[in-house]
């Protein structure tokens, strides 16, 4: 049946053309945005996932900046500690030279003093953006290193902790702790040195309790072995502080060395007799580090203007060099970790971006082919609708 009121062919053609135009609009949107999913309307699940991942990428960009800042700060501290190690090594050369009798120890001591001042200058200048990791004022610093998301969607951050290394030279207070029968006590009695002959060499070392306070540390070196004893509050409270400290130091020496015997003279406060039972001579040195001093505060006690001071300084400088080397190693280790983490975060961000692209980016080759097909379909749809619209006119022939 033909009707001039209802043109079924035109309605079918019109619906088909509308569908083609809708698909053509979607394809044009993909071309203009470059995305197959540009809004939640396109695919809500994929869009939601991509937005979460995009927020993580933004977070990792901030983390990358934090790691760069942290790496620069640690690099400055490492370079400073390495420079201090070199300066202390130069100072050791001066101290060794001062062991000779036929030298001008006064001039050598002037050189040592200049090196002390240079070390202090390096410590004060070793800051980046206000953070100084070697002056003793920063116990630790946290560097934002990661953004962690668990399977429930909860997010937490992780940090790399950088421990400050105290290489400051200030706040030293003399304690006047060491006295010796055969060895040599240096400036203020806070350094000590001697060489114990093979097998039978010994020395009576007297520990004085003058001015000792809780936290003061007595360090000794036997050959290349280091031991230490830290004064406690109980030691200071005792009426025989020198005896208690001497006993504690005796126990530390016996536990940490080989080929060395230590006898305690109970009749003489603070006296311990150190004997070398090795087959070779052994250099012995001591150093007091008071609790208020910086990590290199004991530099203040080094004075090579006299033979005794030069002998005592030779052992002390080894402890100071070890302190600087340990600081350099610590900074180098954490700097390497930060660098590794920065590389990982960069690669992770790239992987996330690739994953987001795989979900939402348009396949431009496919879109191009689809556009060509839809444009052809649109032209045919217009032609089909035009033909359908002309059909009622053919009914006029029935009334001629």
Q: Which pLDDT score, from 0 to 100, does residue 72 have?
A: 95
262 within domain boundaries:
yes
Read off the pLDDT of residues 267-325 as tens digits, 9 standing for 90 and up.
788 888 998 888 888 888 888 888 888 888 888 888 888 887 888 888 788 888 989 99
380 within domain boundaries:
no
pLDDT mean over 55-62: 88
> Range of 203's domain?
178-292
Residue 78 sits in the same domain as residue 120? yes
CATH of the domain at 56: 1.20.1330.10
Q: Which pLDDT score, from 0 to 100, does residue 230 have?
A: 92
Residue 185 sits in the same domain as residue 255? yes
Residue 271 sits in the same domain as residue 210? yes
Residue 150 sits in the same domain as residue 220? no
* Alpha carbon distance 138, 272 (integer Å): 38
397 within domain boundaries:
no
309 within domain boundaries:
no
Which is it for the CA torsion 121, 126, 127, 128, positive or negative? Answer: positive
Residue 215 sits in the same domain as residue 276? yes
197 within domain boundaries:
yes
Residue 191 in tokens: 């350094």
Count: domains in the chain: 2
Read off the pLDDT of residues 140-197 as tens digits, 9 standing for 90 and up.
999 999 888 887 778 888 899 999 999 998 878 888 888 888 887 776 788 888 888 8
* Alpha carbon distance 244, 234 (integer Å): 9
71 within domain boundaries:
yes
Reported pTM: 0.74
151 within domain boundaries:
yes
pLDDT mean over 342-362: 89
Tokens 């005796």 — which residue?
250
Residue 98 sits in the same domain as residue 156? yes
Name the pLDDT band for 1 (thresholds 50, 70, 90).
low
Tokens 């993580």 — which residue?
56
């Amino acid at each position: 049946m033909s009707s001039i009121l209802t043109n079924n062919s035109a309605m079918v053609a019109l619906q088909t053309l509308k569908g083609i135009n809708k698909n053509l609009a979607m394809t044009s949107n993909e071309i203009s945005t470059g995305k197959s999913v540009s809004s939640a309307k396109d695919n809500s699940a994929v869009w939601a996932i991509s937005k979460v991942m995009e927020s993580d990428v933004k977070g990792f960009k901030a983390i990358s900046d934090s790691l760069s800042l942290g790496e620069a700060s640690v690099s400055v501290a490492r370079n400073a500690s390495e420079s201090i190690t070199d300066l202390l090594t130069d100072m050791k050369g001066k101290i060794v030279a001062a062991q000779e009798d036929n030298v001008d120890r006064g001039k050598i001591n002037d050189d040592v003093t200049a090196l002390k001042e240079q070390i202090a200058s390096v410590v004060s200048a070793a800051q980046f953006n206000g953070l100084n990791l070697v002056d003793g004022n920063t116990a630790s610093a946290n560097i934002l290193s990661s953004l962690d998301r668990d399977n429930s969607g909860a997010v937490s951050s992780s940090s790399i902790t950088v421990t400050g290394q105290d290489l400051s030279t200030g706040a030293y207070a003399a304690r006047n702790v060491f006295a010796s029968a055969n060895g040599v006590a240096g400036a203020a009695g806070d350094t000590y040195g001697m060489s114990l002959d093979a097998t039978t060499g010994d020395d009576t070392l007297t520990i004085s309790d003058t001015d000792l306070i809780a936290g003061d540390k007595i360090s000794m070196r036997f050959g290349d072995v280091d031991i230490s004893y830290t004064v406690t509050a109980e030691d200071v409270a005792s009426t025989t502080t020198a005896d208690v400290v001497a006993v504690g130091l005796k126990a530390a020496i016996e536990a940490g060395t080989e080929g060395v015997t230590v006898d305690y003279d109970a009749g003489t406060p603070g006296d311990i007799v150190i004997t070398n039972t090795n087959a070779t001579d052994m250099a012995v040195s001591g150093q007091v580090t008071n609790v208020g001093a910086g990590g290199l505060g004991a530099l203040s006690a080094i004075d090579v203007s006299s033979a005794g001071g030069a002998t005592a300084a030779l052992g002390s400088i080894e402890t100071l060099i070890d302190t600087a080397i340990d600081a350099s190693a610590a900074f180098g280790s954490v700097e390497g970790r930060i660098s590794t983490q920065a590389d990982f975060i960069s690669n992770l961000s790239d992987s996330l971006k690739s994953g987001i692209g795989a979900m939402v980016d348009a396949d431009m080759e496919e879109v191009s082919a689809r556009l060509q097909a839809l444009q052809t379909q649109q032209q045919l749809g217009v032609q089909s609708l035009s033909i359908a619209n002309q059909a009622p006119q053919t009914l006029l022939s029935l009334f001629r």
